[in-house]
Amino acid sequence: MRDFFLSKNCKMIKKVEHIGIAVKDLQASQKLMEDLLDTKMYKTETVNSEGVSTGFFQVGETKIELLEATNKQSPIAKFIEKRNEGIHHIALDVDDIYTEMERLQKLGFIILNETPKKGADNKLVCFLHPKSTNGVLVELCQEIKE
């Protein structure tokens, strides 16, 4: 495992692609984040399958993704009910999501969705259970190439 991570040519996990923050009110948080980051929210997108409205900010190479629930069944609604607003997940940019899922599964990480699904921002995504990742919901994401 160690050798795998030290291998110089290996760039399976490229960077922290974004940090997802659960918010109650996307519009109110947009203003707060624009003030905080001194940059405009450059994109909004609703993902109906997940019951979320998202808003994106670019911060250097990384993005901040705000997530607001669009219905009560949404994972974001449940998160806010339990833990209030806050960091919801950390997303890692990967070259090949299928290879990474297989690698992590072999190491004992718990994959929440066996098949990658289409997320916001033209990405294939898959989540790792927080119970296998120090309590942090981790998203793997891979850009969908046309």
> From the CB of 96, what's the least distance to Zn ion, in Å?
18
Q: By CB under 5 A, tell whether 20 contacts Zn ion.
A: yes
Q: Toward Zn ion, which CB reaches closer, 75 or 98?
A: 75
Residue 55 makes contact with Zn ion by CB under 5 A? no
Nearest alpha carbon to residue 65 among 146, 141, 116 = 141
Tell me the site size for Zn ion, rule CB under 5 A. Answer: 4
Cβ at position 133, least distance to Zn ion in Å: 15
Distance between CA atoms of residues 79 and 62, nearest Å: 23
Handedness of CA 89, 61, 57, 96 (dihedral sign): negative
What does the alpha-carbon distance between residue 52 and residue 55 come to, in Å, rounded to a whole number?
10
Interface positions, 101-130, toward Zn ion (CB under 5 A): none
The residues binding Zn ion (CB under 5 A) are: 20, 65, 91, 139
